[in-house]
Amino acid sequence: MSTRKELEALFRKRGYADFKWIDPAKIVVAQWVRMKCVFGCGNYGKSGCCPPEVPSVEECERFFRDYEEAVVFHFAKKVRKPEDRHEWSAGVNRKLRELEREVFLAGNRKAFLLPMDSCGLCKECTGTRRDCLNKKGARPSADAMAVDVFETVRAIGYPIEVLTDYRQTMNRYAFLLVR
């Protein structure tokens, strides 16, 4: 298993400088987040990494308790057009999946990534986990796992606000559970 120092060197080598360690017990899991997925997200029922294809809120909460450490990665970005955020997010998430694999291969058998956006690996999602074309690489986002990202990242000093205009800077977050 890698030390924090070794992992931080790996993160920086991969170009990730804005991150903070967090005790996974401090990751806030809330039922209201799941309700926002069910009643407010266009991906509901259309993705193998989104509700209802993910564990229950209670199972999500238990999942985080299986870990001793996690890392929160911060990404800030302004986009010219709202649709530009999807391509940017997909690129960041691809690189984060590579990082998760590298962390795993460095001896961290429990490494598990929650990317900053919905899975997006395939051009068209099959809609179910059972029929997923990329079961090994597909990961649910933090909100799909019922994480209250706003409360969690604010508690460790990161900025996050509800945006009212796409000309504002987005603050996005990915979680890498390590031990």
If you search the block for the tokens 């390590």, which residue do you land on? 178
The answer to whether the beta carbons of residues 40 and 121 sit under 8 Å apart is no
Q: What is the CA radius of gyration of the chain?
A: 16
CA distance 24 to 67: 6
First to last CA, the chain: 9
Cα(74)–Cα(3) distance, rounded to whole angstroms? 21
100: which 2 tokens? 């998760």
| Amino acid 121: pLDDT | 79
Q: Distance of alpha carbon 10 from its chain centroid, rounded? A: 19
**pTM recorded for the entire structure:** 0.94
User: What residues does 19 pair with on adjacent strands?
Assistant: 73
Query: Which parts of the chain register pLDDT below 70?
Result: none
Nearest CA among 60, 64, 61 for reference residue 49: 60
pLDDT single digits (tens) 33-43 = 999 999 999 88
CA distances to 37, 54, 161 from 138, rounded to whole Å, are 18, 12, 27
Instruction: Report how far residue 37's alpha carbon sits from residue 55's, in angstroms, rounded to the nearest whole number.
Output: 13
Euclidean distance between CA atoms 151 and 148, whole angstroms: 6
- The predicted pLDDT at position 18 comes to 98
